Amino acid sequence: MAALALLSLALTLWQWLAARRFPLHRRATDVSFAPGVTVLKPLKGCDEFTESCLRSWFAQKYAGEMQIILAVADADDPVCSVVEKLRREFPQCDSQLVICPERLGANAKVSKLAQIEPRAKHEIIIVSDADVRVPEDFLASAVAPLRDEKVGLVNGFYRLANPTTVAMQWEAVAINADFWSQVLQSKSLKPLDFALGAVMVTRRKQLAEIGGFRVLEDCLADDYQLGHRIAKHGHCIELCPIVVDCWSSTMYFLDVWSHQSRWARTIRVCQPGPYFASILSNGTIWPLLLYLLFPNILSEYFLAFCLVTRAIMVADLQRRLARKPFSLPDGLLAPLKDLLQVLLWISAFLGNTVVWRGEKYKIRRDGTMVRR
């Protein structure tokens, strides 16, 4: 047990160091590379943040040509009025709203992408979730790595921008501190072979190589699979240092639990070995078990040291991602998050169903899913 506790501390420190070494928020200094880009936006429904998120794309200050294609499954979707308002506000922007009533596979998002992909005018294809807000100079930095022909896909980190409830603050620990630092920890071992889905930038050439979006229409983790398949064709996956914001409507405990459970089962299916081993890096549970099994002054001090280290680490990583002053209270939920993570880790192996946008799916062993 002492060995596991020491290992968890070492992995925690390694994760922290890997994150601190990454040049987060660094803008591209040479913006002369500005190829034409097509932004694909699959949409469904809207909330109080949808308009501002979409506006950030219409308002991009980019030297090259930009096309925006927005897709919905139903012409009566309330997001259509938001899109039409923005199209009137930005008449100079090459944009169109496409109705995609056909459901090509289990993944509704990919179904829309597959139907609007042929409408893209430019070689560079950008896929972004509806709840993503980007800075006005985002595109220049996002396409910069594609100067190198070896790079097949660019993606980047995101933060939960509005953790307004305690449950969302718990999720903020998972997203704004742990997730991106764990990705960098993995990258320090081997090149990335997957993609993060908030914003993904690739070429039509790479999409054609893997068979287009149609091959992903039944995949649960379409972002992971897109990056993984491009990497399998010998292309590099690069990280853009610019952080984008994800805005969410108010969520409470059951909402966050459902979201985190889907995330856990998705990772378990995509990377079963690494996910099984991920419990070893839990910086709270192993020192706590050491103290409970062997209560003495040494294990007590070690537990206290680990808890303080974990809280400072989480506060620091959230500060770096969000570019805000250091606030230790931001890290105080870390031990609670770690304990809940143990339950999520266990539950990921106890079921093969997820709920996504109100629909229930069964996950197959190959990472595809079927609606139930």
Contact 316, 16 (CB under 8 A): yes
Per-residue buried b or exposed e for 311-342, using 16+ beta carbons within 10 Å of the residue's own CB: bebbbbbbbbbbeeeeeeebbbbbbebbebbe
For the chain, give every domain's residue range.
Answer: 37-163+189-249
Given a cut of 80, whether residue 372 has pLDDT beyond it is no
Dig out the tokens for 293 from the structure. Answer: 């099994």
pLDDT in tens, 115-158: 999 999 999 999 999 999 999 999 999 999 999 999 999 999 99
pLDDT of 39 reads 98
pLDDT of 360 reads 85
Domain 37-163+189-249: CATH superfamily, name plus number: Spore Coat Polysaccharide Biosynthesis Protein SpsA; Chain A (3.90.550.10)
Given a cut of 90, whether residue 327 has pLDDT beyond it is no
Closest CA to 5 of 347, 346, 279: 279
pLDDT in tens, 201-255: 999 999 999 999 999 999 988 999 999 999 999 999 999 999 999 999 899 999 9
When pLDDT is averaged across residues 38-53 and rounded to a whole number, the result is 95
pLDDT of 326 reads 85
Under DSSP, the state recorded for 178 is: I
Contact 282, 300 (CB under 8 A): no
When pLDDT is averaged across residues 192-197 and rounded to a whole number, the result is 93
Contact 157, 180 (CB under 8 A): yes
- Whole-model pTM: value is 0.92
Q: What is the mean pLDDT of the chain?
A: 93
pLDDT band at 196 (very low <50, low <70, confident <90, very high): very high
